[in-house]
Amino acid sequence: MSGDLKVTGKVAQTTNGKDYYFAGATSSNTSIMANAETKKSLNGTIAYSGMNQVTFNTTYDASLSESSAKLSDIVGTYNGTSAIVQGVEKATVSITSNGEISGRGISGCTFTGKATTIPGAAYFKLDLLFGYSQCYMAGQAVSGIIYYNKTNRAFYAAAENNSRQNAVLFLATK
C-alpha cells in the first residue's frame, strides 16, 4: 500500500492510495479514511473502486521513534523473499558501508541501488534499478524505503516505480 497520507487532528486520509497485490498480477487504486491516535493506533477503512471496502486496525511500533537509522546497522547480506506484482521469488541482497546495494533473484534478475539515511528517521531512502536480463521490471527504477528492526533482525524494503503500476517488496532476516 502506498500513497500520501494526510493527518488533520485525529483524521488520516488519502485519495491516491495504491494497493499492490504481489503474486496476483494486479494493483488497485484506493482511498483511506482512518482515525489516528499519535503513538497509539491507526484504525480505519480502505476503499477500493467498485465499492469494496476493508477495515484495518493497527498499533504503534515504538521502534519507529528510535534515533536516526545508521547505514552501519544494515551492512551485510540478506537472504529472503522478493515480490513484484507478477510474482514472488527467493532473492539475496547485499549492502555495503556506503549504502551501495546489489542483489539477485533466483530467476537471474539482478538489481543495483543505494540506501541513503534520512535525518531524524528510523528508516532509509531506497533507490533501485533493475537489470535487463531475466527481469519482469527490466530497466525500471523504483524508489521507496528500507526499515531494519534491530531487535528481531528483520529487514523490510518497499519501493514502487514512477508510474505506480508496479512495486517491489523484500522481506528478510540478517
At 16-42, the pLDDT tens digits run 888 887 767 778 889 999 999 988 999
Q: Which residue has the cell 508496479?
A: 166
Q: Which CATH architecture does the domain made up of 67-173 adopt?
A: Beta Barrel (2.40)
Residue 122: φ, ψ to 5°: -90, 10
Residue 23 is predicted with a pLDDT of 65
Residue 5 is predicted with a pLDDT of 86
Summarize the confidence of residues 99-112 as an average pLDDT: 96
Query: What pLDDT digit, counting tens, does each position of 131-172 carry?
Result: 988 898 999 999 999 999 888 889 999 999 998 888 999 999
Residue 62 is predicted with a pLDDT of 80
The domain segmentation of the chain, as residue ranges, is 6-60, 67-173
Side-chain half-sphere exposure of 75, counting CA atoms within 13 A = 6
Q: By C-alpha distance, which of 94, 131, 133 is closest to 114?
A: 94
Question: How does the average pLDDT of the chain come out, rounded?
Answer: 90
Residue 171: φ, ψ to 5°: -125, 130
